[in-house]
Structure 1
Amino acid sequence: MKKPNRTEELRAQIDENLKRVYQEALQEEIPDRFAALLEQLRQKDKKGSDQ
């Protein structure tokens, strides 16, 4: 059985850490400021499509 080399181990560790950080970021709520901006964009888009 082939023993993984140090580079492969580091890549796997980086991959795991990035996935964990990304998952944590997905769990965070959107700040109120951004939610308000998204709502403004939706309203603007809705008004534009009604014309």
Structure 2
Amino acid sequence: MPLNPSQKTTGSARPSAQKTDDVNAQISSKLHQLYETVREEEIPDRFLDLLEKLDEAEKTFGQETSK
């Protein structure tokens, strides 16, 4: 149904490109902040021990299969 000239639209179904860019920039900024804090965290000793055990198991398994 066509609009009369006196009727104004209050918004569109699509956000403007600028609003979309602003939202994407905000999301990007928040993700960078989150992942930066994760990168700065120290690796727990328990996890390092598990990685060491995995390395040892892989070496042992590799030696058994190369015989």
TM bucket, shorter chain: 0.7 to 0.9
Structure 2 length as normaliser, TM-score?
0.62
Computing the radius of gyration from Cα coordinates, the structure with the larger value is 2
Aligned to 1:29: 42
CA distance in 2, matches of 1:45, 1:29: 25
Structure 1 length as normaliser, TM-score?
0.76
Task: List per-residue Cα deviations over 1:10-35 (Å, max 9, x = no partner).
Answer: 11011011012112211111111111
What's the Cα RMSD here? Answer: 1.4
Corresponding letter in the other structure for 2:35? Y
Aligned-pair identity (%): 38
Number of residue pairs aligned between Structure 1 and Structure 2 = 48
Give unpaired runs (5+ residues) of structure 2: 1-16
More helix by percentage: 1
